[in-house]
Structure 1
Amino acid sequence: MNKIYNPKREDWQSVLKRSTRTVADIEVIVDGIFDEVMKGGDSVLKKYTEKFDGILLDDLLVSKSEVEDAKKGVSNELKKAIQLAKSNIEKFHIAQKTDIVEVETVNGVRCWQEKRPIQKVGLYIPGGTAPLFSTILMLAIPAKIAGCDEIIICTPPYDEGKIHPAILYTAYLCGVTKIFKVGGIQAIGAMTFGTESIPQVYKIFGPGNQYVTVAKQIATKHGVAIDMPAGPSELLVVADDSANASFVASDLLSQAEHGTDSQVILVSTSKEMIDAVETQVENQLKELPRKEIAEKAIANSKLIYVDDDETAIDLINEYGPEHYIICVENEDFFINNTMNAGSVFIGNYTPESAGDYASGTNHTLPTNGYAKQYSGVNLDSFLKSMTFQKITEQGIQEIGPAIELMAEAEGLQAHKNAVTLRLNSIK
């Protein structure tokens, strides 16, 4: 890992730079595939599935028999673990429900806000080097709680055109409407425009590689909403001498093994902790099955020493990490002053992987610094807030004259007339 000691503030931007390509680098590729999908539908999806996944498919839709077979292919132990995670995630997201907000702003003017579900949502579930069935829990559960009518999944197939049994079992458990065997840019295109098999959706959710992330961003140009630009995984740990170096190293490696473009960072006010974590990373890395992937991510990651907590928190807020672990004696200072982070994990016994799987919080989070302006996925991500108002005769008399004056001042006579006619009808 790269050790950096007391970087100057003017150098923070370059020190904290992610190793991701820009939208411009990938946009031409996305536009080309989107255009093909829009014109060619299913045949284009099958063409790219054969090209990128090496699989020629007859049917994109996962059949009921495939789902039934998948249920038998998941061990009882794993089923129980998934069910435990599902229960905790449901509890946390059900707790996010809010009541109708209602107020009478003046006598006779009643305004209220209610939430309605997004009717059609598409969930992108990465397959690739790891079948992320946990992401189905994080997306399908709040979608069901919100009341979305149609919940579809697109996920890339692997050997012989199959989907990992755990993905199919989890989708079944969470009440997903339909599952399709398609991944990458072409999957995002399919959910954006619709094809013969795959319905067009109103909002697309889910993480993915840099190509999927850019595809989601381009989808917004075509009238489809997205959860956030969620790209390669990242983790920042702040730790002092009160932390356990082996725990910290294990957390860094847990994110590094996601992909070669993942980034992990340790910020510390202790040079001894930095050295100890570096040693632990080297030792633990040797035992990982995904060693080659983790090694490449670690090569792009950083160990940063700063002199004091105040500098550390400024650096962390500048970075805006997706996942953020606080393992310090003065944890209240960091908790209270953290402004930019996707999800925060506090203390030596709170690994980031708890949030990835079973504690209850959502693991679909903003990356690449978007934590400065985006929230992670939550129940409200699947809802729209709608406002309502009802005005009585007394109410229009209360606010009507003000509306007339304001409309006239803006030169909008028809706006004024809509009020004047009503006021005159009362007299």
Structure 2
Amino acid sequence: MKYIYFNQESNWAEKLARPLQNMAELSTVVRKVMDRVRDEGDRGLLALTQEFDRVSLTDIQVSQEEMSRAVDLIDDELKAALKQAKANIELFHRSQEVEVEKIETQAGVQCWRESRPIDTVGLYIPGGTAPLLSTVLMLAVPAVVAGCPQIVLCSPPNRSGQIHPAILYAASLCGVHAVYKVGGSQAIAAMTYGTDTVVKVNKIFGPGNQYVTCAKVLAQQEGVAIDMPAGPSEVLVWCDDEARPDFVAADLLAQAEHGVDSQVVLVCDSPDYGARVEAELERQLEFLPRRDIIKVVLENSSIVVANEKEAIEVINFYAPEHLIIQRNTKSYQLADIANAGSVFIGPYTPESAGDYASGTNHTLPTNGFATAYSGVSLDSFVKKITFQEISKTGLTHLEKIISPMAAAEELEAHRRAVLIRLDKQ
């Protein structure tokens, strides 16, 4: 990890740059995949799966027999864990439901807002170097709570042409309606355009690599909504010299094992503390099976030495997907945290808890998008429709506002639509 010392003149955009590929080049590659799926449908999907995943398939959709067989392939301990995680996630997301409240803005003028579920949602579940079965829960549970009528899921097959049984079990547990053996940008394309097998969706959810993220951005241009441009995962850990270096190192390593394009950042008070964490990284790394991936990530990651005020500035500039704070309880400065996907507070709150079981959603904005995007929530799966009902008395009051404003905008038909109801023309 490279050291960065806080300086108000520092070029933070350069020093904390994410390890991203050339987007123009990436967009050209992904556009070709999108066009092929649009033009060739299932035939294109099967060919691309052969090309990218090195597996020859005859059926894209997972059969009911495969779904049922997955149940027997999962041990009881994992089943119990998934069920409890699902319960926690469901409880947290149900708490986001709100009662409809009618507001009388003026006498005789009632306004309110109601939620309606999105008709068809598509969930993308990465399955490359790590089958993200937890993401099934994070996306499917709020979709079910929201009442989405059709929930479909895409995940890449392994070399045997199968999706990891834990992903299938989680999908079944949550009530996903259809699962497809397709991954990468071609999966996003399939859900964008629809094929003979894959359902065209209204909105696409889920994390992925840079190709998947690029495909989601292109899907928006085709009129399909997305949750957010969520790409490679990242964490920023902010700590003081009192934090346990082994805890901090463990959090950095946990995030670094996602993939070679992930990034981790440590913000601490002194280079001496940074060195203690580095020593722990080296010690713990030897016990991890994905250490080759982690080593690449650490080469693209940083230790920032900054005081408390400076650290807040760095955090809000970087806008991390995950922010872990391990500091004296009087120094959390939570009110000053403006940009972060999800915040983990204190020594016994690892990011792993949010990834799996605490109840909050782990599908979060990355690459600095936390400056404007929120993580996935119940609201992500619904549309908000406003309603209003106005009495003649209410419209009489509003006419005094509408008429001069419509006249100022030179929209006479707007003004007359009010006056005709009040017998004023």
TM-score normalised according to structure 1 size: 0.97
Distance 1:108 1:297 in 2: 61
What's the C-alpha RMSD, in Å, of the aligned pairs?
1.2
Secondary structure of 2:96 counterpart = coil
Provide the residue aligned with 2:339 in structure 1. 340
Provide the residue aligned with 2:99 in structure 1. 99
Distance 1:159 1:331 in 2: 52
Secondary structure of 2:237 counterpart = strand
Q: In the TM superposition, what is the alpha-carbon distance from 1:270 to its structure 2 partner? A: 2.7
Q: In the TM superposition, what is the alpha-carbon distance from 1:415 to its structure 2 partner? A: 1.1
Pick closer, same or farther for the CA change 1:7–1:187 going to 2, 3 Å.
same
Provide the residue aligned with 2:236 in structure 1. 236
**Alignment of 1:48 onto 2:43:** no
Contact 2:6 2:310 (C-alpha < 8 Å) held by counterparts: no
Distance 2:388 2:335 in 1: 38
CA deviation profile, 1:297-333 (whole Å, cap 9, x unmatched): 1111111112x20011111111000001000115554
Provide the residue aligned with 1:407 in structure 2. 406
Contact 1:239 1:273 (C-alpha < 8 Å) held by counterparts: no
Q: Which amino acid aligns with 2:396?
A: Q
| Deviation larger for 55-64 or 94-103 | 94-103
Q: Which amino acid aligns with 1:362?
A: N
Distance 1:327 1:31 in 2: 43
Q: Which amino acid aligns with 2:367?
A: N
Provide the residue aligned with 2:65 in structure 1. 65
Distance 2:273 2:25 in 1: 38
Distance 2:401 2:347 in 1: 59
CA deviation profile, 1:83-110 (whole Å, cap 9, x unmatched): 1111110111111111113211111111
| Deviation larger for 100-109 or 135-144 | 100-109
Provide the residue aligned with 2:204 in structure 1. 204
Distance 2:271 2:51 in 1: 49
Secondary structure of 1:211 counterpart = helix
Pick closer, same or farther for the CA change 1:186–1:331 going to 2, 3 Å.
farther
Secondary structure of 1:266 counterpart = strand
**Alignment of 1:379 onto 2:378:** yes
Q: In the TM superposition, what is the alpha-carbon distance from 1:23 to its structure 2 partner? A: 3.1
Provide the residue aligned with 1:115 in structure 2. 115
Q: In the TM superposition, what is the alpha-carbon distance from 1:70 to its structure 2 partner? A: 0.4
Contact 2:260 2:297 (C-alpha < 8 Å) held by counterparts: yes
Provide the residue aligned with 1:397 in structure 2. 396
Distance 2:403 2:373 in 1: 38
Q: In the TM superposition, what is the alpha-carbon distance from 1:397 to its structure 2 partner? A: 1.1
| Deviation larger for 38-47 or 23-32 | 23-32
Q: In the TM superposition, what is the alpha-carbon distance from 1:31 to its structure 2 partner? A: 1.4
Q: In the TM superposition, what is the alpha-carbon distance from 1:255 to its structure 2 partner? A: 0.7
Q: In the TM superposition, what is the alpha-carbon distance from 1:25 to its structure 2 partner? A: 2.6
Contact 1:91 1:360 (C-alpha < 8 Å) held by counterparts: yes
CA deviation profile, 1:345-377 (whole Å, cap 9, x unmatched): 011111000000001110000000000000000
Provide the residue aligned with 1:160 in structure 2. 160
Distance 1:134 1:250 in 2: 20
Q: Which amino acid aligns with 2:371?
A: K
Contact 2:235 2:322 (C-alpha < 8 Å) held by counterparts: yes
Runs of 4+, deviation exceeding 6 Å: none
Q: Which amino acid aligns with 1:88?
A: N
TM-score normalised according to structure 2 size: 0.98
Q: Which amino acid aligns with 1:398?
A: H
Distance 1:270 1:34 in 2: 48
Distance 1:78 1:121 in 2: 27
Count of matched residue positions in the alignment of Structure 1 and Structure 2: 425
| Deviation larger for 179-188 or 325-334 | 325-334
Q: In the TM superposition, what is the alpha-carbon distance from 1:6 to its structure 2 partner? A: 3.1
**Alignment of 1:365 onto 2:364:** yes
Secondary structure of 1:161 counterpart = coil
Contact 1:239 1:269 (C-alpha < 8 Å) held by counterparts: yes
Map residues 243-392 of structure 1 onto 2, 5 A cutoff.
Answer: 243-306=243-306, 308-392=307-391
Contact 2:191 2:198 (C-alpha < 8 Å) held by counterparts: yes
Contact 2:329 2:346 (C-alpha < 8 Å) held by counterparts: no
Q: In the TM superposition, what is the alpha-carbon distance from 1:411 to its structure 2 partner? A: 1.2
